[in-house]
Structure 1
Amino acid sequence: MAKSDKVRVAVLGAAAFSEVAHIPGVNAHPQGEVVALYSRDLARAQEMAGRTNVPLVTDDLEALLARDDIDAVTVPSTNLNHYLYTVAALKAGKHVFCEKPMALNAEQAAKMTRAAQERGLVNQMSFIFRYTLCVREMRRLIAAGAIGTPHYVTIEQQGYSWFRQQQQTWRTFAGEHGAGQLGEMGSHCFDTVNFVCGHTSGYIAELAAITHLIPRTVEGPDGQPQPVETLDLASCLIRTQKGLGGEIITSRATPSHSQLGGMGVVVVTGEKGALLANLTRGNAEVMQRLEPGKSWEPVTLPPEATDGTPHAIYRMLGSFVDSVLRGGVDPDQDADFEAGYRTQSAIDATIAGGASHRWEPVATAI
């Protein structure tokens, strides 16, 4: 595709995040345009399209993907549909931006990755923390040797919120939501370790895990109780290919102890010090540095890091438009489907480790 062309995008799903991120994120790029919105709930899609000025609305996915005036799709639907819609779009020759978690399991993620690679189509994952200034700076400083050789990484991502959902939704069921909290936020945590430390320490290669589901029911559409099937907590010890150790906790069943806000905190420590960054959508970023014998000190970030605007949304969806224009992702910034596969393998290993009480292997490549 020539750089002068518009990238014409169909959004496959009328989820809330479609309106918050996918539609405005693509449209904010001068060469990006959301031209269609698909949903099985046509009325919901029509209402959203009216608010966001999307010209075409449909509940016929096959017909939409057959159009030659659609270059690419984004997939902000249920976790089960990440696999179904992505494979259908790739078969139709469309470039794909997929929400996290990539799929319900690593087998699906591998099929998605191979399908994209075999067709030479752009494939990109929605790992938004890669597009925050603090996480990018952390990656750069680690690569520059600012803290020496990293020997431990931690991510704390907690929020005591398991009780909020009282009505049945697709997130109630493992067959549609997959691994629950582990998939929704754990996928981000695994990718953050791989992105920040992978170029120096290798990718996560094994882990040991504890998982937990709080037994409870929610109200179904018929008024009857429906058991919740998806995980509320996962806590992992991890080890990368080159021996970097660490721990990750992602939980909606325990309270956060961080005072920094956002959706979690990552800390990487080496013999020359430590770096800390919070995990946000780019609206209220925090970064700190610790040197031996000193106190934590703030790392100066550009003013936009704290101006209240979720800049990472626009950088992320804009990067997908750029990827389509140039015919591939930027490996120094973007997560392709193979990166998504690595996180999905880590999710599967966490579930297996929670049951086996043993260290489990994590795939680092297809």
Structure 2
Amino acid sequence: MTTDPTPLRVGIVGTSWWADSMYLPAFAAHPGASVVGLCGRTAATAEALAATWDVPWFSVDSDDFLDPERLDAVVVATGTDSHEELTMTALDRGLHVLCEKPLAPDVAAADRMARRAAETGAITLVPFTYRYMPTNQFVKRLIDTGYVGTPFHLNMRYFTGYARDHEYNWRFDQELAGSGVLGDLGSHWLHVARWLLGEITHIGCVSDSFYQRGPRPDGSPYEQNEDSALMTVRFANGAHGSLQVCAASWEGTEFNQTHHLDLHGTDGTIYAVNDWSNLQQVSGVRADQPGPAQVLDVPDDIWNGARRDRVHDTYRDVFRAGGAMVGDWVDAVRAGRPIEPDIAEGAIVQHLIDLATQSAAGDGRLLDARR
């Protein structure tokens, strides 16, 4: 537990664009934390990123880097296949851990990580970023305050196009990633669905690879993961849902990405859309009111000062100026209190990903997800 008033000493393992665009800006904006070290695979990349962000120490040796004499907490922002080893080492050395999603290539590894986190009492976080966006926060509030009554149907769609270039991408390499779009995008939607409606008791899936990809950089063969998947789920409260994720889509927006949500309940309906350009909107209609659905204003306290006109500006403000996710984790570590979504939640989501993969390999039937 870190109770000292001096800033939390954070190390980041991974020097990709994500460390540069998400973690380093978010920590720089938080007065309670300081990134004191970076660790990457190549010295030149780690040194350059450290210089850009004025980080005093960099390394290419992760075992040496995870030093509790120099760090209080670590961000694991590497490929999925390295998450378990890095996280377990950090936990064993008394460090608090933020580990990227999907948590692991399979549920056995994820469960080992969750057990070790529970044994050590570390404050952990798995960054399911989309739960923090204002439209999703508003949908959650509307559900919790009874706008739709008893929910019975949830439909969520995540369309993007990073699979369309045919190039090798480790996310589609089964040995390195475990699953493809199910782990990368499906993990987000499975978590958000659980956050909105509760435990998922059954899951089925159909998936496919619509784009064939190039060989590994060394020319060796590999088994290619799916780039599109449609999951069917049942919730413990009796609701059911469809969760669609596709990285082979052409959306034509600024980020070539769109999110859509439809939620029906006994007393009303909610629609949410985010086109990742300029539209981030929630609409609704109640059964006791005349239709059609009307745009519902997202409350100011949910925006929390974030810019509203351009989605990428909103995104930056939520995680930097607003302190969501990364800032919340820093505050939790400094206070010595748990935070969600933690590694235990990441393991539950990985369990669902594994079952979805199993269902897709068969005939797509619903599988019992209760543990």
TM-score w.r.t. length of structure 2: 0.88
- In the other structure, the counterpart of 2:368 is 361
1:306 maps to what in 2?
A: 308
Whole-angstrom CA distance in 2 between matches of 1:260 and 1:127: 19
Note if contact 1:14-1:39 (Cα within 8 Å) is conserved in structure 2: yes
Counterpart AA for 1:289: G
Deviation string 1:169-214 (CA, Å, 9 cap, x unpaired) is 433421112211111110000001111122xxxx111111101123
What SS class does the counterpart of residue 306 from structure 1 fall into? coil
Map 1:1-366; keep pairs closer than 5 Å: 1-2=2-3, 4-166=5-167, 168-198=168-198, 203-214=199-210, 216-221=212-217, 224=219, 226=221, 229-255=224-250, 263-278=258-273, 285-292=280-287, 293-301=290-298, 302=300, 304=306, 306-307=308-309, 308-310=313-315, 311-314=317-320, 315-330=324-339, 334-357=340-363, 358-363=365-370
Give me the whole-angstrom Cα distance separating, in 2, the residues matched to 1:7 and 1:159: 36
> Counterpart of 2:263 in 1: which secondary structure?
strand
Deviations 1:112-142 (A, max 9, x none): 1110000000111111112122212211221
Whichever residue aligns with residue 57 of structure 1, its letter is F
- For residues 188 and 326 of structure 1, the distance between their equivalents in structure 2, rounded to whole angstroms, comes to 27
Q: Contact (CA 8 Å) 1:346, 1:363: kept in 2 or not?
A: no
Q: Which runs of 5+ in 1 are unaligned?
A: none
Counterpart of 1:149 in structure 2: which amino acid? Answer: T
How far apart are residue 283 of structure 1 and its match? 8.5
Alpha-carbon displacement from aligned partner over 1:93-128 (angstroms, at most 9, x marks no partner): 110011111111111111111100000001111111
8 Å CA contact 1:124, 1:336 repeated in 2: yes
Kindly state the Cα deviation for residue 351 of structure 1 after the two structures are TM-superposed.
Answer: 0.5
Say whether the 8 Å CA contact 1:158–1:256 is kept in structure 2.
Answer: yes
State the secondary structure of the residue aligned to 1:93: coil
Contact 2:113–2:343 (CA<8 Å) still a contact in 1?
yes
2:110 and 2:282 map into 1 onto residues whose CA distance is 33
The DSSP-based 3-state class of the residue aligned with 2:226 is coil
Q: CA deviation at 1:19?
A: 0.3
CA displacement at 1:261 relative to structure 2: 8.0
Structure 1 residues 115, 142: CA separation in 2 closer, same or farther (over 3 Å shift)?
same
SS in 2 for 1:134: helix
Deviations 1:235-277 (A, max 9, x none): 0110011211010110123455999985412222102111233
**CA RMSD of superposed structures (Å):** 2.5
Q: Offset at 1:150?
A: 0.1
Equivalent-residue separation in structure 2 for 1:79 and 1:228 (angstroms): 16
Give the TM-score of the pair, scaled to structure 1. Answer: 0.89
Task: Give, in whole Å, the separation in 2 of the partners of 1:178 and 1:363.
Answer: 21
Are the structure 2 counterparts of residues 263 and 322 from structure 1 closer, same or farther at C-alpha, using a change threshold of 3 Å? Answer: farther
Contact 2:319 2:326 in 1 (8 A): yes
Q: How far apart are the structure 2 equivalents of 1:319 and 1:282? A: 26
Indicate conservation of the 8 Å contact 1:133/1:305, yes or no: no
AA in 1 matched with 2:207: T
Distance 1:129 1:351 in 2: 22
Aligned length: 355
Task: Kindly indicate whether the alpha-carbon contact (under 8 Å) linking 2:68 and 2:94 is maintained by their aligned counterparts in 1.
Answer: no
Letter in 2 for 1:236: M
Instruction: Give me the identity figure in percent.
Output: 25
SS of 2:98 mapped into structure 1: strand
Supply the distance in 2 between the matched residues of 1:37 and 1:208 (Cα, whole angstroms): 40
- CA-CA distance at 1:289 after TM superposition: 1.5
SS at match of 1:264: strand
**Alignment CA distance shift 1:352-1:305 (3 Å):** farther
C-alpha separation in 2, matches of 1:71 and 1:255: 43
